[in-house]
Structure 1
């Protein structure tokens, strides 16, 4: 297993409020903003948090804006240089990276490796996205080679359709109920009113969830996250330098990227079938990423005090909690019912940010948003959504389209 040559810590984080830019119904809250403009605000907030200047950043890794063909053109693909152009070029190395929904923590990994290797002492990871609202649509009309077009237009396989099939399978195998699915939304919405960066800052009841329209049986509208615009930035530094810069550096124990194991029965987005091999678990990319960070950090699930996971739907909440805690199917539902995963008061708080249900997914930025929340929780700066237990170690995990996954473990570095 790779060991970092130098220790690395987070010295600053910054975000913008998730939402729709512009929002005709709320123009004062959500004015017209481009992808680079959202990123600049997030970077500015992170620099302010770290109490350093833009010129002190020695390397930058940017998430590639996903909807490039539809909105931003070449500046979406070369997002890093587009963002740096607004910040002011300083001659530093800039790399733009695409890894679907796993982009956020994937670029954090690249920034960490740049510092750990000795290439630089301070690096920035930043990602911004202006999502296509409603269902994520294919970016071409090529019915011969674009598998995304084939599954979406020719087969009607939208993202919620995939999730609904996986959810129905889980209900059959693990006994998950419709009440369990609704309870995910009720529980994860508890901290939402207290998160200034969340788009939907309200709580929901079981009755409200059950009254929401059925999108793709058995998943209802309030059991599936929206799509949003958003941006987040994380600044990392060599650990000894980090301790001199800030009072509460957040130590990066591990960060890793995972891909599937051949034979995994999961049918991933864009594909219509899978290769099945006996003994290979579902969602192996997530399990591989999570097991990597546990091994790198020398930890187990018992060490984790708080979790941020990708609750794109209620099914995701259970499936990815299984992966993170090494649980058998059905055990995550039991934890939720007992209140053990309550985001504020639980034994293992999950999604104290409010999760994707409160934010909506700004695809490439979401992984960094998770890290921002964990930093605030570790520092004790989360306000009314601060978890009640003493948080020393935290884990974030996010999955991506077509079999990408990333995870990280962070802890108090002071």
Structure 2
């Protein structure tokens, strides 16, 4: 985005709480930074360096139910009703949000979100905008007097405020939606209407609505449009790049490392295709949530199901301007796929930009394209990649990024704002 000529860098306050929705916090947090906006993430009663737990929520469409049923086809053919019970049972067993036409949903633990500022030290005048993620945290933030007073200050000053999903509950508590058009997750409608809002019924989960300084969104599915509208409210100018970007992933790709680049590049106006060998558009790849929690290596739990946007077999490297290789568990399998290796070589030979995150380097090692290059990656793969003939830059700090001509590498998802600049 950059900042309007002659003006200082924009500063945004991200209002967090425990069990805020994972994507609705991290994607805006990293995307805004990638576009040159400084973001301070705070939570009442917590300090810089403290953690907010996040929650992942998954909406499974009817087609996904069929796929799940096919995965346990023995039970399905015995009894579709039994299969439904089993699928729902597994959904609750693993804490995933499976709707299947049910009246409500459940959730599971997401990443640990590290705050970078202290709530009690906030100086309202230092910020140009406010962003409130959804999840369950807004229910509690809306009852916090300090939070409500802070939101009122932003509202009274007409500074841009963006709220998504359930975040609008905080706006309602502060009296900021009276007489305003806004949308939200459908179950928030009664509270907003009671607060005097003019409800805009969302026809999809990606809808964004603007009324003066208030930007509202329905769910993280609409993050690209939601973030684009907020950046515009901040005075930024985003021109669609028209670039075509390819992301290659596989089962148990790192959750943030596929979703943040995908949605951030969409904000910019790029056409982004996400593909996986032996899968087609509409198929899903399960993701992995990886966090550094003090152990010798990262912890891992299952994350969202990422929906692929294109068929792998139809990919032609010549039709894309850049390649992104996320990390996770999948690169070690993808590095054995000859078609993936050929694609990586084609991008490198054409000197097109290649971005590798974390374990994504394993694909480039297998492609033999790192000779003489300088790069970084997750510390645990150093021994694997140094044999490639390149120079490994230590992943210290963990958000380190390294650029060598057309190759941009990040040690982990923590460095994605710099990677995506």
Q: TM-score, normalised by structure 1?
A: 0.31
Which has the bigger relative contact order, CA under 8 A and spacing at least 6?
A: 1
Q: TM-score, normalised by structure 2?
A: 0.30
Is the radius of gyration larger for structure 1 or structure 2?
Answer: 2
